[in-house]
């Protein structure tokens, strides 16, 4: 019987359900944000302001087709890469160099729950990343709607601070999870 099936305790059920919820949320965010972002690229001018100075004034541009390509790479590629690296790499190295107490967490008795946690937690990181990339796209849309283009630096800073707080939460939860070692086993 698998670790995530049959009669098992409530904490194990929560760990087994987490990857499903976070994976579904990540897939939904990827689909919806990609659809919305690619449709909204059409309203951008042919010459898109993509880099802004500290005052928010545009100082570098690209064409709309290049912007669409970079947007797709960052919106889908970056979160997907993070999920693959965070969930996949420890599986191939048995956690060495990535997970505290890796001998315990990748022992046969814990391996499936560990991999389940890694997938779920990596998907939450992917969700955070999709949200910030899409948010930056929205800021670029608004900036390019003005003549001359001006980026709302205060909103960008707020968004980045929220993302960094999310990364701190994500890292703390990751480390806290893997610090626990069951001394009874």
Enclosing H/E stretch for 172:
helix 153-179
Measured between alpha carbons, how far is 163 from 124 in angstroms, rounded to an integer?
Answer: 12
Kindly report the average pLDDT of the chain as a whole number. Answer: 89
Per-residue DSSP letter, 100 = T
**pTM confidence score:** 0.85
**8 Å CB contact between 129 and 84:** no
| C-alpha count within 13 angstroms, C-beta hemisphere, residue 179 | 6
Ranges of each domain in the chain: 10-41+62-179
State pLDDT tens for residues 16-65. Answer: 556 789 999 999 999 999 999 999 999 999 999 999 999 999 999 999 99
Q: What is the pLDDT of residue 100?
A: 85
**8 Å CB contact between 60 and 151:** no
């Amino acid at each position: 019987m698998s670790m995530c099936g049959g009669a098992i305790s409530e904490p194990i059920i929560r760990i087994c359900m987490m990857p499903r919820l976070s994976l579904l949320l990540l897939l939904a965010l990827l689909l919806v944000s990609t659809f919305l972002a690619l449709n909204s690229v059409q309203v951008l001018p042919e010459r898109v302001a993509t880099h802004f100075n500290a005052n928010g004034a545009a100082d570098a541009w690209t064409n709309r087709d290049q912007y669409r390509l970079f947007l797709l790479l960052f919106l889908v590629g970056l979160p997907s890469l993070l999920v693959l690296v965070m969930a996949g790499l420890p599986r191939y190295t048995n956690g060495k160099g990535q997970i505290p107490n890796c001998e315990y967490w990748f022992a046969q008795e814990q391996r499936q729950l560990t991999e389940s946690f890694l997938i779920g937690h990596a998907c939450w990181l992917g969700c955070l990343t999709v949200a910030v990339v899409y948010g930056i796209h929205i800021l670029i849309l608004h900036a390019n709607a003005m003549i001359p283009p001006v980026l709302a630096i205060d909103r960008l800073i707020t968004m980045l601070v929220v993302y960094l707080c999310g990364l701190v939460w994500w890292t703390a939860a990751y480390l806290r999870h893997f610090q626990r070692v069951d001394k009874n086993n």
